[in-house]
Chains A and B, each alone.
Chain A
Amino acid sequence: SQTIHQWPATLVQPVGSPLSLECTVEGTSNPNLYWYRQAAGRGLQLLFYSVGIGQISSEVPQNLSASRPQDRQFILSSKKLLLSDSGFYLCAWSATREQAFFGQGTRLTVV
C-alpha cells in the first residue's frame, strides 16, 4: 500500500534562517506531488505542484521554492524565512485525476 511521510511535525525557526521540509511517498511510482500551506482557521493554499522529476509548477509568488530530486521525494525550501511563512504545511500525492493523500503536516513557527 502507498504511504506518505512528512517531517518534521513541528518546527520553530528564527527569521532569516533557512528551511527544508521533506516529503517522501512509498508504494507508487510517478505520483503527482503537492505542497499546500494552511494558515490557522483558513483554507488550503496550493504552493507547488509537480508531475515528475524536475517539473515544478509554482502557484503563488513567495519566499519559498520546491524541488523534486527523485520520483517520490518532494522538498520545500527557503533561503531566508519571514514571519509570514509561519503556518501548517501539508504535502500530498495523487495519481492523475484521482484523490490526493495527505501527510500529517508540519507546523512551522517563525519567530
Chain B
Amino acid sequence: GESVGLHLPTLSVQEGDNSIINCAYSNSASDYFIWYKQESGKGPQFIIDIRSNMDKRQGQRVTVLLNKTVKHLSLQIAATQPGDSAVYFCAEIGGATNKLIFGTGTLLAVQP
C-alpha cells in the first residue's frame, strides 16, 4: 500500500559505483510495475517498466528485477553518475482496477 507519510530513505553511493534501489509491494494481483525518477520540483519521469510475466528487463544502464514470490522489485543503475541523483519511485498497477499506486520512494545521492 501507500506509505506517503514516511520520510524518504536515502541511498548514498560513489560516482561510478552501481546502485541498487529496492521496493516492496503488497498487492499480489499487481501485474505491471514501473520505476520513475523525480528531480526536485519536477514531475516523475519514466525510467523502465516490467510486466509480471517477466523477472528481468534491461535498459540503458538500468535493470529492473521482479521477484513475485516475495513481492519485491529492484532497480539497478550501472556506473552511477551525478545526474542520477534524484528520488526514485516504484509504482504498480493491477487487480480489479487500473490505478497507478506509488511506493515510498528512495533518495539517491551520488557522491563525486
Contacts and interface: CB of A to CB of B under 8 A. Distances in A.
Interface in B22-41: 31-32, 34, 41
Contacts, number: 71
Contact of A94 (B8, B100, B101): B100
A43 B42 CA distance: 13
A49 B31 CA distance: 19
Contacts of B49: 99
B98 A32 contact: yes
A99 B83 CA distance: 23
A96 B6 CA distance: 29
Interface stretch (B13-21, B54-62, B64-72, B102-110): B102-110
A73 to B, nearest CB: 18
B46 A44 contact: no
The DSSP consensus for interface residues of chain B is loop
B43 interface: yes
Interface string A21-54: 0000000000010101011011111100101000
B32 A45 contact: no
A101 interface: yes
B73 to A, nearest CB: 15
Interface of B: 2-8, 31-32, 34, 41-46, 49, 89, 91, 93, 97-105
